[in-house]
Chains A and B, each alone.
Chain A
Amino acid sequence: MYWGGNPAECHPRHFTKYTLMQKSKFLPRGRKDRTMALVDIRATKSAKAADIFLQVRPGKDFEMITILRAMVKGESIPESQIAETGLSLETLEDLVARMKAAKFGAIFFGMGLSMTRGKHMNSAALLTLAAEMNAFTKFVAMPMRGHGNVTGADVIMRWQTGYPFGISFNRGYPRYNPGEFSTVDVLVRGDCDAAFIIGADPGATMPQPAIDHLAAIPTICLDPHVTHTSKLAKVHITTAPAGIAAPGTGYRMDEIPLPLKPALNSPYPSDEEVVRRINQAIAKMPDWMPEGEPPMVLSQV
């Protein structure tokens, strides 16, 4: 099941490499042995690949998931509530029956679910549906991530700080609060007096007040290309593109690390080398900590 995502256009290898076309020990006929359902607010190109397409009314994903959770448990739902989702009882009953009959169900959800009305509540509801389906058959759910190696950034921030993003170090240890410490919030409030940007182009995607603040402060940008961000940055260091001319590691959406082997040489240094040299230069400067040992441990209990 794909929910609020359009892999045909956004993750073009997903069907062929992972979900639909592969033949395997238990599904020897490949596509013929699988059923694909797509839930979205409109028939995207991915709908052509689906066996069943369920067009949910915009903003009603959470309601639809909640109804499915109830139906899975055998609860009856008033017709008026089902009508709100834009779908019929028969359609949902058919979907639930197919889900329960599957040997192994997998739900992939995209930003059409996680970034629309309800946001993280939608993701939580869908993950709960997948968890509860395990009372009947094996079911898993996974987000369809965007951007190259965003998963890698998540994974490393988690092992070093405990949190995936939206982290503040301004008390000397990691604190997490999306909505307060997320990049966009810090920029819009004008809380930071410098910015260091690697492998991202917030100048193209963030709200105007955030972009204005980036342009007003010393912004340093590491990027192989000229981007909206590099144009407004005070310093742009051209780096070798990772995976093409610089080695490294990319984390797949399922958090499997893949080695990146460069196919070309580049006259430019890798991001890693630039950051290492900046760190070396910083290490030569006096520490920002005042004299005397700060307390090593804060107990917040």
Chain B
Amino acid sequence: MKITGGKVYDPANGINGEVRDLHIVDGKFADNANGATGGREIDATGMIVFPGGVDVHTHVAGGSINFARAMTPEDHRRTQAFIRTQSRRSGLGGMAPTTFATGYLYAGMGFTTVNEAAVPALSARHTHEELSDIPIVDKSSCVLMANNEIMLDLMERGEYDRARDIVAWYVWAAKSYGVKAVNPGGVAAWKYGHDAKGMSTAIPGYNKLTPGDVVTQLARIIDDLGLPHPIHLHCNNLGAPGNVATTLETMKHLEGSRAHIAHMQYHAYGGDDWSTMRSESAQLADYFNAHPNMTTDAGAVLFGDTVTITADGPWQHLLYKLTGRKWGNLDVENETGCGIVPYTYKPSNLVNAVQWAVGLELLLLINDPWRVFLSTDHPNGACFWRYPEIIHLLMSNDFRQACMKKLTPAIKGKITLPEITREYTLYEIATIMSAGPARALGLRQKGNLGVGCDADVVIYEEDKDIERMFGHPRYVLKGGQVVIEEGDIRETPEGREFITRPSYNPDTEAFLKPIFEDCYTMSFENYPVEMERIEHPTMMDCVDVD
């Protein structure tokens, strides 16, 4: 198969809008030389060719998003419906799309790989069942560890090596790809109605272990294990005015380790309370720019209705009290928790206006597009299918300035967005939506149009209307198969799941079993997800981390 004449944007190979032909053999890009002829030829003359999009942080499968679906039938009724056809399943779009619709919506926007960012090991079986019902896209997942009480107890006792083995065991038991840390210590404390806000204050229920210790040790453990994706960290004190201090302190705890800071927008606020809340993205971006050990995703906010879901249980209780709307809380035994609150972001609300600006500011002030990625922390800041709106905001200063006129007048002096004139280029967009997140995830075969990589391609018609261009690609190819063409879904192949198997001391299970049986309600033997439950698993090797 051949794609000819398109303007190719392939940041992984430094190709910036050159007209090139792409050759595909057996689902991978091939060299022109070894006779890659035959098959279909797509004439992409005048069109723009990107590697398929990669979402580094989204919530599309598992207990929490499924609870959100249950809580929002009123949204399902008003949203986009997918009608069953001979080749497609029916479903619903909206704030928390159903699984089949999730695959169609992502692919329809040119995304071919997604990372489900929060999986409790205890219900990982459920997450994998849902992931296998999301067609077209390839998937990876991160298992929640930072509030696992068995691990916290080991860290409290200073048993680092044992804690590392336990983390490795959980990653494999959950058939996961990476490790997510959410509000380290805070979700464990929430089991008793507390939180952990100070990085250097002992976690409630522990004598000396602090959230800072957990962050440092867990990041080091993940590097020692050589997981392809570094610690995926949701910092403490999310959403609170003045939380930039916590975020900066967290970043200091990460020095010497790799780290991915999730949805940084929610962690970049100054001020003392809701009425004085302001953006501190400039300060955060400065620190971040100077510390190349980290990557981040924006967690940008767009105005409108959505449903917030996070493992950060105490924060969701606060959001429930602030909004008076529905609240769901799920505690996951001794592992983690989860909260769900429907939410509406309004430009007339100062806090929401600050959040909207901060997401864009971080994307514009962090100067290396290889280190900051497009995300809305779906569905928290906005639904993933609204990414084209963010791309529009990034590529057009005029549009940003026009949008800022709709913000509450109280915003004056609280954000730096009005002074930023930077506009993203197509090359930079290709970096933040594909090449960068693929590299951060350690998925070398993704976000890259080079020979041997997966032939995931999105082809756009050049269009002055940026949202239309990015929202309605002319063609999307997944593994060399045309899945979207002329605005319609042509094929719905099953995706793969990436998993890793870090090594651990062989006596780990003998050590863990009695502790496990003491505190879990499930039997030890039944706990690990069986390999045969993973649809199309692809093992990814661990890497050497300096």
A contact residues vs B (CB 8 Å cutoff): 17-18, 24-26, 103-104, 131, 134-135, 137-138, 140, 154-156, 158-164, 169, 171-176, 249, 251, 254-259, 261, 287, 289, 293-301
Give chain B interface residues in 74-122, CB to chain A under 8 Å.
76-86, 88-92, 94, 96, 98-100, 122
Quick one: which of B80, B100, B123 contacts A257, CB cutoff 8 A?
B123
What is the bound-complex CA distance between A289 and B86, given in angstroms? 8
Quick one: which of A160, A256, A258, A293 contacts B98, CB cutoff 8 A?
A160
* Least Cβ–Cβ distance between B234 and chain A, in angstroms: 21
**Chain B window 511-533, contacts with chain A (Cβ cutoff 8 Å), 1 for yes, 0 for no:** 00000000101100010001000
What is the bound-complex CA distance between A169 and B190, given in angstroms? 41
- Please count the residue pairs between chain A and chain B whose beta carbons lie under 8 angstroms apart in the complex: 137
B63 proximity list for chain A (CB < 8 A): 255
CB–CB A257/B126 < 8 A: yes
CB–CB A160/B89 < 8 A: yes
What is the bound-complex CA distance between A201 and B63, given in angstroms? 29
Give chain B interface residues in 493-546, CB to chain A under 8 Å.
519, 521-522, 526, 530
The number of chain B residues touching the other chain, given as a range, is 35 or more
Quick one: which of A18, A162, A297 contacts B69, CB cutoff 8 A?
A162
- B489 within 8 A of partner (CB): yes
Quick one: which of B66, B76, B83 contacts A294, CB cutoff 8 A?
B83
What is the bound-complex CA distance between A156 and B130, given in angstroms? 8
CB–CB A300/B522 < 8 A: no
Say what secondary structure dominates the interface of chain A. Answer: loop
CB–CB A296/B82 < 8 A: yes
What is the bound-complex CA distance between A240 and B130, given in angstroms? 25
Interface centre among A175, A257, A287, A289 (most CB of B within 10 A): A257
- B252 within 8 A of partner (CB): no
Quick one: which of A25, A103, A155, A295 contacts B126, CB cutoff 8 A?
A155
- B308 within 8 A of partner (CB): no
- B418 within 8 A of partner (CB): no
* B126 closest partner in A (C-beta): A257
CB–CB A296/B488 < 8 A: yes
Quick one: which of A138, A259, A293, A296 contacts B530, CB cutoff 8 A?
A259
CB–CB B70/A164 < 8 A: yes
CB–CB A259/B81 < 8 A: no
* A176 closest partner in B (C-beta): B73
- Given the known inter-chain contacts A173-B91, A298-B80, please indicate yes or no for A159 contacting B99, CB distance below 8 A: yes
27 pairs from A and B in contact (CB 8 Å cutoff)? A131-B327, A134-B193, A138-B191, A159-B61, A159-B99, A161-B98, A169-B84, A172-B83, A173-B83, A174-B91, A174-B92, A176-B73, A176-B77, A251-B126, A255-B63, A255-B330, A256-B522, A259-B125, A259-B526, A295-B83, A296-B83, A296-B85, A296-B488, A296-B489, A297-B83, A298-B80, A298-B81
What is the bound-complex CA distance between A171 and B77, given in angstroms? 13
